[in-house]
Amino acid sequence: MLTVTNVDKFYGGVKAVENVSLEVNKGKIIGLIGTNGAGKTTLFNVISGFDKLDRGSVNFDGQEISNLLPSKIANLGMIRTFQTATGFPRLTVLENLLVFSENNNFEFYKNFLNKNEQNKEQIEKAENLLKKFGLFEKKNQWVVDLSAPELKILEFARAIMGNPQIMLLDEPAAGVNPALLEQLMEIIQELNGEGITFLIVDHNLRFICDISDFIYVMNDGKLIAQGKPDEIVNNELVIETYIGK
Ligand SMILES: Nc1ncnc2c1ncn2[C@@H]1O[C@H](COP(=O)(O)OP(=O)(O)OP(=O)(O)O)[C@@H](O)[C@H]1O
Ligand SMILES: [Mg+2]
């Protein structure tokens, strides 16, 4: 479904991503780990069109996408979340979800704010997602009043409004408490069961190992290992990189 081939992204002398190739097969949950500054977010930016790559290619569902705008890539069914979630602070929780609807032009959005009959279906979808993510009680609160973990959850929920085929999640578990993390895992697994493919970056090794079918490891811009979770936690180079010799 997603094939990244020999991708480079340099910022001046910083080789943020160097000769990285990876594959995400349809229906799978793939983990991407690596120490701080390894290049994980840069790789996400390049895949999702937020940054231009210097070399290589990104192919999604048979189409080269490395020259496309992020909005176009999102419309093709690839939706990413951000490491630092902000949401739209001056809209309510519910409105934040409605912004990312199937038909998100401005007129349509204004209609949402009028909450007319026609948009009932989308509002129902958004409310059901808020229930699933435990944010329903806060649906009329301003997003500026949410906590950082709530913002992360909200961003994840909003991304689902766009009917993704594949989701790229950048540290969905960061700052999330253990109970909520458990819930987050169940939601990811449920969505995966419904056919959504995932590429997930996170620092929580247990979470990544529990949820992933396959894991890629980056360090210093390069891929240093790949394999099933049990292979990764026993990989000497990975252990050395994470906790030292
Ligand atoms: N826009 C930019 N301009 C210059 N350097 C950048 C830019 N974005 C990232 N970098 C550098 O590229 C390298 C990779 O950063 P990146 O954010 O991709 O790492 P990461 O693996 O996501 O780290 P973390 O786990 O801390 O989120 C770092 O050295 C970073 O400082
Ligand atoms: Mg990052």
Per-residue model confidence as pLDDT tens digits over 161-192: 989 999 999 999 888 888 888 989 999 999 99
- State how far the Cα of 128 lies from the Cα of 115, in Å rounded to an integer: 16
Per-residue model confidence as pLDDT tens digits over 28-84: 999 999 999 999 999 999 999 999 999 999 999 999 999 899 999 999 999 999 998
The pTM of the full predicted model, rounded to 2 decimals, is: 0.92
Residue 87: predicted pLDDT? 85
Looking from the CA of residue 40, the nearest atom of ligand 1 is: 21
Mutate to test the pocket of ligand 1, among 11, 45, 52 (most ligand atoms within 8 A of CB): 11
Which residue minimizes the CA distance to atom 24 of ligand 1? 36
Whether 125 is covered by a domain: the verdict is: no
In eight-state DSSP terms, residue 71 is: H
Whether 124 is covered by a domain: the verdict is: no
Whether 71 is covered by a domain: the verdict is: yes
Whether 217 is covered by a domain: the verdict is: yes
DSSP string computed for 137-179? GGTTSBGGGS-HHHHHHHHHHHHHHT--SEEEEESTTTT--HH
Q: What is the CB < 6 Å shell around ligand 1?
A: 11, 14, 16, 34, 36-42, 83
Is the pLDDT at 21 greater than 90? The verdict is yes
CATH classification at residue 6 = 3.40.50.300
Alpha carbon distances (Å) from 154 to 10, 24, 115: 32, 25, 20
Q: Tokens 């939601």 map to which residue? A: 187
Of the listed ligands, the closest to the CA of 81 is: 2
Q: Is the dihedral of CA 70, 74, 80, 85 positive or negative?
A: positive
Whether 100 is covered by a domain: the verdict is: no
Whether 209 is covered by a domain: the verdict is: yes
Residue 118: predicted pLDDT? 57
Per-residue model confidence as pLDDT tens digits over 110-162: 555 555 565 778 888 999 999 999 999 999 999 999 998 899 899 999 999 98
Q: Ligand 1: distance of its center to the CA of 182 in Å?
A: 28
Looking from the CA of residue 171, the nearest atom of ligand 1 is: 27
The C-alpha torsion from 210 through 80 and 53 to 31, rounded to 10°, is: 0
Is the pLDDT at 12 greater than 70? The verdict is yes
> Considering its fold, how many domains does the chain have in total?
1
Chain centroid offset of residue 234 CA: 26
Which residue minimizes the CA distance to atom 6 of ligand 1? 11
- State how far the Cα of 46 lies from the Cα of 156, in Å rounded to an integer: 20
Q: Which residue has the higher pLDDT, 244 or 65?
A: 65
Whether 60 is covered by a domain: the verdict is: yes
Range of the domain at 238: 2-77+164-243
Whether 58 is covered by a domain: the verdict is: yes
For the range 10-13, what are the long-range contacts, defined as Cβ-Cβ under 8 Å and sequence gap of 24 or more?
10/54
